[in-house]
Amino acid sequence: MLFDLKTGKRRRFIQVVFGFLAFIFFISFVGFGIGSDVSGGIFDAIGLGGSGGRTDVSSQYEQQIEEAEDKLAADPKDPKALTDLARYRYLSGQENLDFDEETGVATITEEARGEWNAALDAWEKLLRTKPERVDPQVAGQMVCAYVPPLPLCQVQAPADALDLAGAAQTQRVLAEESGDSAAYAQLASFLYFDGDLKAGDDARDEAIAAANPGQRERVERELGRLRKDAQAYVKAQEQASQAGGAEGAPQLENPFGGLGAGGAGAGLPPAGP
């Protein structure tokens, strides 16, 4: 669920997901509503067009974080306070990223990871309350906290710093609220690479059904290719695990790595609240 950069073996293997790169461009295409009747798209839905232990936080967001925590001390299930805590912990962590102005890609730091862990803790508490609606912008930020190397997030992170199951849980909320084909396609990608083929197929079917008639064949073709790539990745992951990280063992690459600058190009979710 939550991550610790100090533990876990960073295993790498040959990257077997070249088809995923092409699919990311497809997601970007549909996500922005290009060539379709969709108004907005997945990136609009997540805001890209527009109580764990305390860690050091940016002074810019410290007041908002303290106010949210005070409200939660009185009511641990306060949905607005949990949403605010997730939002401002995420933004505080974003300030602690090591940003490369030349490439436009950030590298996650232990400080950023700590803040994002706290954001995800608040977010998961919110989801356990089964809220009627969630803030789509904050949900998008949480997806980036779960899977930082997504092209729209543009944050480099090792393969053992991904939580695909957590990302899928939040992506499912976005997909079900929006009914958007690209949102379901992204959900399918998380589920496939997490090894849950049946749930991924269900999301794939939803993506195909929600797509414009003229795009359904393409959606089905690209998701079929993605499914095969994910199966190869999961198999490679199992082989790397069996090798136990021994000297000279093949290494496993982050399936979402290297896509930041070349994918959607949308950058990080908005730095402002």
Q: Where are the domains of the chain?
A: 18-243
18-243 fold = 1.25.40
Rounded Cα distance, 28 and 261, in Å: 12
Q: Which two tokens stand for residue 61?
A: 């967001």
Give the model confidence (pLDDT) of 171-211 as tens digits.
999 999 889 998 999 999 999 999 999 999 999 999 999 99
Higher pLDDT, 242 or 220: 220
Beta bridge partners of 99: 106
Give the model confidence (pLDDT) of 77-89 as tens digits.
999 999 999 999 9
Mean pLDDT of 44-55: 41
Map tokens 């605010």 to a residue: 84
**Whether residue 91 has pLDDT greater than 60:** yes
Mean pLDDT over all residues of the chain?
A: 75
Residues in the chain: 273
Mean pLDDT of 10-35: 37
Say if pTM beats, i.e. exceeds, 0.75.
no
Mean pLDDT is highest, among 41-45, 241-245, 265-269, for 241-245
